[in-house]
Structure 1
Amino acid sequence: MRVAVQTDLQEVVLTGDRQEPPDLFLDGRLRVSGQDEYRYHEALVHPAMNGARARVLIVGGGDGMAAREALRYRGVRSVTVVELDPGVVRLARTDPALASLNGQAFRDPRVRVVYADAFRWLRGAVDRLQERYDVVISDLPDPGITPSTKLYSEEFYGLVAQVLTPTGRFAVHAGSVTDRPRTYWTVDSTLRAAGFATRPYSAAGRAPGFAAGPDRADRAGGTGGGPDDWGFLLAVRGARPPALGLAADAPRLRSLAAGTLEAAARRAERGRGAEPPPSTLVHPRYGG
């Protein structure tokens, strides 16, 4: 263990040494594994960057990894990160290993960090009618195992729809397709109830029980092992699902290519079953 901090909201633990990248745990769950976090963050961010991308909004993402990926594109003028816990961002700014892993994203002058409840902040942005984003990225843990259910509700997605530009894209981490299909497809039906058309896809971790990123309670050899895939949804306003691809000027990626995304979409679609009801603030539909 390198760092252990109890913030006002959660326990934050950073492990690792000089010979290996750090691992970040929030309340005992592996949030970032330095050895292969790129698989999760590349899959989350890059499909949404295929188009206009001057203004990017990241909900969550206090570790700086999603911002790192967005900043790799020319034409990105601003990245706004809305994070609830200042302690996570403070560590991501100041710890040498974690700051190196996120590419010193929080030192980039294009990045603005807002410490706020994302639901309340986004509702305020809608009321101001001044902020519109080309890309919105929801970098949050699986709603089935965290208290962030309201950020996966129809009402929240309705707010996102109002701050997107007409051609904007919305990328959502929706939990494991294979291990928690009910949760994943509930996110899909909730997005569509809010007026989005969606394109499901997934990404595999390096090895079963070792995959890095949100919702990993432990690594190989621990109890349970955690799911070995992540499910994502790329969404746009309207009735026509978005194309799933990479921008022509996308940077060189370690885990994604056009064929990879096509296979990822087919893999996710194989799990589609009967459509579950959408989740709302009054009737949340996510289970454990």
Structure 2
Amino acid sequence: SPKAHITGASRIQFDEHRAMEIAKEIVKLAIDNFPNRSKNKVQIPNYVNHLVAGFSHEYLNYMQGGIYRESFRPLNDNIMNGRIRGAAGVVGCNNARVTHDDAQTYIVKELIKNDVLVVTTGCNAIACAKLGLLTPEVMNIAGPGLREVCQTIGIPPVLHMGSCVDNSRILTVLAQCATEGGLGEDISDLPVAGFAPEWMSEKAISIGTYVVASGVTTWMVGHHPYSNSPEVVGLITEGWKKKVGAAYYFEPDPEKAVLEALAHIDAKRAALKLEEYNPTRYAQSETY
């Protein structure tokens, strides 16, 4: 749209009938401009990391029972017996106002250390991949119960479920867990939490809203856009908790957000009368 034009910026109008031609034009502009890059400002790390991806809802179903016995029963059973404390979805873009990837990876590492299975998409998945968090080798920093289950099934403790537009896959998994039985009758009964560690756009708030509306209490790590309105703050926390069984929190401190989420997961476990989480009961091996 002409309304989105930026003064002084180069702009190429997209035309679906000339897609290939336009793509070549964009690539040529980038190549021609390459010599103008300041080498002092370019910092490309000289190391690489591997990752394991492709954990769709269907594949997770298959991984837990094979072709003939696929189900979410093993996951539910291990949440019920306390090997897995709960689960969390960690998603969202990066924010230029904070240290790049710092909160993204801190939250994931703290969750798996506390036996919380993590599913991730989009930019958070990329942040995790760069630190090697999407491979079985990261098992040594996972809690003993989570490690035991992941080793048995053959999955890493952080599961890459796709791009940011695949967030609905996470809700599909949660719906399947609720349907499987033993963890309540609704997504809002499950010991789970949602995170956007570096949220920075209205789109993130919209995505978080539908996650909360689906029954998942969610933490947006960053400034609170509604802090000056006690009415709105009350609505999206206690108000929504009464209406949909989940709340929407904005917490700038990643450490505090994790502690709040763990307390929330434990409260959900207690409400379901599940075994109390106790990591000392399970395997202590540090090898995969």
- Structure 1 length-normalised TM: 0.36
Whose radius of gyration is greater, 1 or 2? 2
- Structure 2 length-normalised TM: 0.36
Higher fraction of helix? 2
Higher fraction of strand? 1
